[in-house]
Each structure stands twice: as structure tokens, then as C-alpha cells.
Amino acid sequence: MFQLIGSIFNALIGKPIFNLLIIIIAFLPGHNLGMAIIVFTVLVRLALYPLLKKQLHHAMAMRKLQPDIKRIKKQAAGDKQKEYALMQELYKEREIKPLASIGILLAQLPILLALFYAINKIINDPQMLVTNAYGWVQNLPFIQELATDINKLNTVFLGFVDLTKPAIESGVIYWPAMILVLASVFTQYYQSRQLMMTDKSARSLKQILKDSGKGKEVDTMEVQAATSRLTLYFIPFMLFIVAINLAAALSLYWLVGSIVAIIQQRHILKKDVNEMEASVKTDSKSINKKVHKSGAKTYVKEAVSDIPEAEIVTTPKPQPKKQTKKKKNKSKKRR
């Protein structure tokens, strides 16, 4: 069963991505593996941009629901059946699928894993560039040269980083590779940090567990937030442990992938904030016009309920001015 799944994965995803890397190496001037990895990673990340955009939009939509979810939990007062029904109603009303982000992430993982294994294959066995290529790819001039002499593949990046060497080998640090490892760890941390909400009053996971031991009520949302803050440091740490023992080419792949993801995330988040601000301004103007016409306080409360941050400026109805005594006397004299 697993062998069948593996062969299907290799035929549909693994081999096409591997051959894409081979084609880039064949046509790239200088045939440098490092430059090919950069071009290769950027192209794949750009292809995954629509999925990343959907994932971020869903994450932000779920984040906006947090006040409503807290209200529902308070309203349910421990009744799990009532809480579930209210949550489903909320998701339906806002047109949100809670498990959509998992599906989007699972759609990206096979491609990213195939990208990782493609680079790993070349590092472990450069001859795979010839033997694992499609027939028409094997006929490319540079691939035919590699078939006669595999050492023609340039694995030195920027003239001094040997991409086949790990950061630590036999207890000795290879600093060019170590710099790539540290840079990839930092960018991975920043990529995760970019998407995380900061709350100074939030409790740590240790404090939550301590309070739970004392019998205090624990909010599952607060536990999830504390866990995500913990992974902010855990994932880069694990990346460092793994990367120092692998070829520098894989650290270059992680570094480039994180940099592209940071740029994409910044673009998506900035665009969404601008659209949201424009929407709030438009809605607040329309509400102000309606308020000015009706002059009713109750209408303001109902209209602003969906726009909590909008500032509504109401204009009171003009009152008729009272005539002064002098004006009244003048009018009598005229008569």
C-alpha cells in the first residue's frame, strides 16, 4: 500500500519537480547548483502563492472571530452541545470552514517535500541528474556532458560555499555552511513571528498549567495561543539541530524559501489591512449619512455593531432660534 502511494507521489509530484530542477541547472549560465536552487525555490514558492494567500486569509478570518468565540463560550457556560451548535452557526454566518487551513497546508506539503528530496537526491548522488531525468531532458546538451563527466556540476556557491558539505562534520565547523544554517534559522523565526499576534497580558503555557493545577478554569483558546508562542522558538531550534548535519544546499533552500515566504506574507497582510481600512472608512461614511438623516441614537448602536473600530460622528438636528425682544419690538412698531 505504502509502496503504491510512494510510486504515485513520485510519478505525479516528485519526478516532475526533480526534472524542473535539472532543466534549470541545464539552462542556467554557469550551471551553478546554488543559483539553480534559488531560481527553483522562488518559482515553486510563486506557484504556491494562491494557496498561501488562502491560508493567511483563513487564519486572519479565524482570528477576527476570537471575540465572538469567547462570547459563545461564556454564553454556553460549559454546555458543550450548546457551544458546538452556536459555533457552527457562527461559522455558517461568516462563511468560514474551520478545517480549511489544514487542507490548504496539506496541499502545499507534498510539493515542498518533493522540493527538499530533489535537492537531497542531487547532493547524495549527482548521477541522479542523468539517470532520473526524462528522456527528452537527458538529450539536453549540458545533461549529456554530465553523463560523461558528473564533476562538471558546479556545487560551489558564490565562489566559497561548498553546498555538498554540512555545517559540522567530524566535530569541525564549516563556517560558510554554518552561516547559511544560522541565516535560515533566523528567517524561519521571523517568518513565524510575522503571523503571530502579540499580547503582553497573555499568560505563558507554564502559568496556564500551574493555574489549572490550582483548580482555575482554563480557556482552550488561551492554551492554543500559548502553544503557538512556544512553537515560535521550538521550530527554529529543531531546524538548527537538523540543518547542521545536512548538506549546505538544503540550508540554502530553507533560507531562500523563508525569505520569499516573508515577502509574500508581508504583501498579503499589507493588502488586507489597506482593504479593511478602506472598507471601514466607506462603511463609517455611509453610517454617518444615515445617522444625520434619522438622528436616532438606537440606529447608531445597531449600525456600528459590525464595525467596532469605526468612529461615528453624529450631527445633532438644528433647533429653531428664538426671537429676541428687540426683534419683536421692531416688528410691532412696523405694524
Mean pLDDT over the full length of the chain: 75
> What would the mean pLDDT of 241-268 be, rounded to a whole number?
91
Domain tally, the chain: 2
Give the pLDDT band of residue 65 (cuts 50, 70, 90).
confident
Residues 28 and 93 in one domain: yes
- 108, part of any domain: yes
* 160 and 90 part of one domain: no
Contact yes or no for 265/52 (Cβ under 8 A): yes
Task: State how beta strands 161-162 and 168-169 pair.
Answer: unpaired
What confidence category does residue 227 fall into, taking pLDDT thresholds of 50, 70 and 90? Answer: low
Does the residue 181 lie in any domain? yes
Same domain, 143 and 161: no
Q: Would you call 250 exposed, middle or buried from its count of C-beta atoms within 10 A (0-12, 13-18, 19+)?
A: buried
Domain extent, residue 161, equals: 155-303
Per-residue pLDDT band at 276 (split at 50, 70, 90): very low
Q: Is the pTM of this model over 0.85?
A: no
d(CA 331, CA 335) in angstroms, rounded, equals 7
Task: Show the DSSP H helices in the chain as ranges.
Answer: 2-9, 15-27, 33-47, 49-64, 66-76, 80-94, 100-124, 128-131, 135-138, 141-148, 175-194, 205-213, 220-243, 248-294, 297-304, 325-334
Q: Looking at the structure, tell me whether residues 142 and 271 fall in a common domain.
A: no
C-alpha cell at 153: 556540476
Could you tell me if 197 and 88 lie in one domain?
A: no
Question: What integer pLDDT is reported at residue 320 of this predicted model?
Answer: 54
Judge whether residue 267 has pLDDT over 60: yes
| Residue 149 and residue 223 in one domain | no
User: Dihedral of the CA atoms 99, 46, 123, 159 (nearest 10)?
Assistant: -140
Q: Which amino acid is at 193?
A: R
331 within domain boundaries:
no
- Greater confidence, 281 or 196? 196
Give the tens place of pLDDT for each residue, 142-174. Answer: 999 999 988 888 999 998 999 999 999 888 999
Q: What is the pLDDT of residues 189-225, one digit of tens each?
A: 998 888 775 554 455 545 555 555 555 555 555 555 5
| Whether residue 58 is found in the same domain as residue 188 | no
Same domain for 103 and 220? no
Q: What is the mean pLDDT of residues 53-73?
A: 79
* Residues facing residue 247 across a β-bridge: 166
**What is the pLDDT averaged over residues 298-310?**
40
